[in-house]
Structure 1
Amino acid sequence: MAQPLSTAMESLTAAMNSSIVPSQEYLLQGGTSAQPLLLRVRRALDYPDMPFQLRYIGQPEIDKSRPTIVRNSIDIGTSSSVVEFLTELGCRMDFEYIVRGYMFRKGRMKITVSKIFKVGQGKTLESVEPMSQSYLVELSVLAPAGQEAIAEDMRSFAEQLRPLVQLEKLDYKRLQHLP
């Protein structure tokens, strides 16, 4: 049987006064010269009812002794208003593109083979133009921290593909300084 409202309020007030219910937040924050926050929003154009995906991508760790780049990555399903929400937070869109291609799996590895299209002035699917005649091939794995063996598996698989495509680590910092 439910308690009357006045009794419930008295119980809550008594709990807060005796410090049983957490009602304060203790917080420490700090700052450094911050790296830019990298967020990506994506959606499936051919499945409009599917949720949008928001992805946080951390700074790549380029270690010469590792066969792959390692970076933090978090994916979150969101509503279609995520772009407006991020704009209200002060984020700005750097670029927009469309990817068409294929995805394959080999165990935990995800292999995508796709063409990248730039969005035309009309922002319609009919106004897209290919960025190049080449295909982009990516090999990636999402795994918990500390699973270094997967990088060796990826290197071995990339060696098998070498006659067709050369998969390698890209130094993103170097790419930013190209003319």
Structure 2
Amino acid sequence: MKTGHFPTGDELAEHDARSQLRIDQRNRRVIASPSRVARQTAEWIADEFEIVPAFDDIDYGHWRGRSIREIGEREPGHVAAWLADSQARPHGGESVAMLAARVARGLAFIDEPDAHERCVVVTHAIVVKVALAHVLGMPLQSVYGMNFAPLSSTVLKRASPADAWAAELPHEPA
């Protein structure tokens, strides 16, 4: 039975989807989080990719690698604070607000004038959730109500950096 935990960034993908993930790189830029699992997935889908720290997983501090159940039992007040306040960081790592600021910088990086027509970002669920909240103008607390399957995709698009974002919400892996 799979139990939830705060990721370490070293988890290997559970699905052997290498052949399903391969993409045609013409007119596509591929970016990966620096984490091992994101780099591994990027290697599966592309011959070349950039590592962009702005898309790294949230720093869970001393909660990293520990089970959600354990933290909930040992630190219920801290978990409640973290879930209620996007500025809270009772684990000593990043707050959701800190992550959101970092992800916003990453999205601006993608919008640079020399960016390719399309960009694939291999990252973590909470990063995608924060990016969605940011581009759609949703409150950061909304990230706790979002749930994505591993290896699913979310498409964010706009005609130019001056235009509003549109989202196509999670696509399950093919």
TM value normalised by structure 2: 0.22
Larger-Rg structure? 1
Relative to its length, the structure with more strand (as a share) is: 1
TM value normalised by structure 1: 0.22
